[in-house]
Chain A
Amino acid sequence: MSSKVVVSAKHVTKRFGSQVVFEDVTLDVHKKEVVAIIGPSGAGKSTFIRCVNRLHPFDEGTLEVLGHTLTGGGHSPSREILQDIRTRVGMVFQTFNLFPHLSVLNNIILAPMEVKKIHRQQAARQAMELLALVGLEHKAEMFPRRLSGGEQQRVAICRALAMDPEIMLFDEPTSMLDPELVGEVLAAIRRLAQQGMTMLLVTHEMQFAKEVADTVIIMADHGIVEKGPAAKVLDAPATERARVFLRRILKPTEVAAEAAAPARGRF
């Protein structure tokens, strides 16, 4: 792992109105590092990675992304900076968000043509190569709604990669998929990790996080409760909060039985 820091959050706090989404999040992401963010729903994981490409503003702290410094409060970055960040940071969404009125191919080449002014033929050639990598080159002319969820998500990954990003953000990329379709999407993400892509990955797939991530972060109760090498955090978490969360995720039935039992305070 190179030591160059590409994303650096310092004491970042985000609120919606008076409600705290997360506070005092401090985190460095190095080049080629894969960071998995796990934690219970509502912990602010998705909102946090949306701050990285400034889809959401935040309230306090600073966030350095690829040499640009974003600050909290009312300051908006200039249009050029925003554009530069979003061009160099790719994102894949939980709900795919493919453009339903455009074919698979046109979904992928829209941004390269509009933003990078790449010629249509060249953009299409590059798109076909990306599609071939995920085994979907024969679906290029189809409209998104004709595709399965797994196929849509693989197209969405291609769409983000077509901009040649330096960092990829994944917002629970498999949580809307039927179980049998999860594997194909994870395979595509795994291949990216192996190629050395810097990634921030919000996920509920513990096994996958353990396998591909260098670093695992557990977010709960509006902040980071545990951070460290994947194996250590997932197998031997240091904090009580992380232990509770992991046990709940990995053995839901046992926890349910425990909750039903009156005995408490076993810790």
Chain B
Amino acid sequence: MQAMFSAWVQYLPQLLRGVGVTLELTGLSLVVAVVFGFILALSRLSHIRGLNLLATWYVEIIRAIPVLILLFTAYYSLGQLGIVLSAMQAAVVTLGGFYATQYGEIFRGAILSIDRGQTEAAAALGLPSVAIMRRVILPQAFFAILPPATNQLSNLIKDTSLVFTISLADLMYQTYSALSLNFLPMDMLLLAGIIYFIFYLVIAKLLGRWELNVQQSRS
């Protein structure tokens, strides 16, 4: 036990350097995922057949392929086609592109869950469709979106660990390089596990509780 703690103290700074990369990657990917996800949701809800079909196919295919293969495709295969991405760029494209399908489906479901009468009433008042979406549908959908969106955010953080396979120096990468030098795999992995678990608890529990409070205070 004593030995484990001293190993933790010694290697914590190295792992924390990885945390910075993990958080940066999470933030960038989240922005891409939310923006692109919203576009996907609107496309799937639109009556323009080509757009609708394109978005549907994108979601169905991307969700069926493991993230790791998408990551290798972005990092290695695109290079073959002359599109050379840095490890960070490949990671953001992959995680953003994959989680856009998750966020897109959350947005779409929330928008569809709003009663048709709401759209009818707003349309009957002469509100144009952009205003109906912005002032009537989205504010109501927002609280249906929050819980699953938080859930996907914690999945996103966990999936950032995949980027160590393309040598992006995130928390997992730092952990792996530490354990291959000091041969203390369990100590290093447990320390990383504690850090990841803290992220999970903060996002899933604290954010979840805050959402619940907000929701209750409004009804």
Contacts and interface: CB of A to CB of B under 8 A. Distances in A.
Decide if A and B touch, CB cutoff 8 A.
Answer: yes
Interface of A: 50, 53, 55, 79, 83, 86-87, 89-91, 93, 95, 97-102, 110-111, 114-115, 145, 156, 159-160, 163, 169
The number of chain B residues touching the other chain, given as a range, is 10 to 19
B139 A101 contact: yes
A111 B126 contact: yes
20 contacts: A50-B120, A53-B124, A55-B120, A55-B123, A83-B128, A87-B126, A89-B124, A90-B124, A91-B121, A93-B121, A93-B124, A95-B117, A98-B121, A102-B139, A110-B136, A111-B127, A115-B131, A163-B125, A163-B126, A169-B124
Contact of B136 (A90, A99, A159): A99
B135 interface: yes
Contact of A101 (B125, B126, B140): B140
B151 interface: no
Q: Which 5 A-B pairs give the minimum distances between C-beta atoms? A: A97-B121, A87-B126, A86-B126, A111-B125, A97-B117
A4 B52 CA distance: 45
Contacts of B139: 101-102
Interface in B107-154: 115, 117-118, 120-128, 131, 135-136, 139-140
Given A50-B120, A97-B117, A115-B126, 5 more contacts: A55-B123, A91-B121, A95-B115, A156-B121, A163-B126
A97 B118 contact: yes
A55 B219 CA distance: 30
A100 B140 contact: yes
B168 to A, nearest CB: 41
Contacts, number: 65
Contacts of B123: 55, 86
Given A53-B124, A99-B136, A114-B127, A93 B117 contact: yes
Contacts of B122: 99, 111
Interface string B79-123: 000000000000000000000000000000000000101101111
B127 A115 contact: yes
Contacts of A87: 125-126
Given A95-B117, A97-B117, A99-B118, A114 B124 contact: no
Contacts of A55: 120, 123-124
B48 to A, nearest CB: 13
B135 A110 contact: yes
Contacts of A90: 124-125
A114 B121 contact: no
A91 B120 CA distance: 9
Contacts of A95: 115, 117
Given A97-B120, A99-B136, A145-B219, A159 B125 contact: yes
A156 B125 CA distance: 11
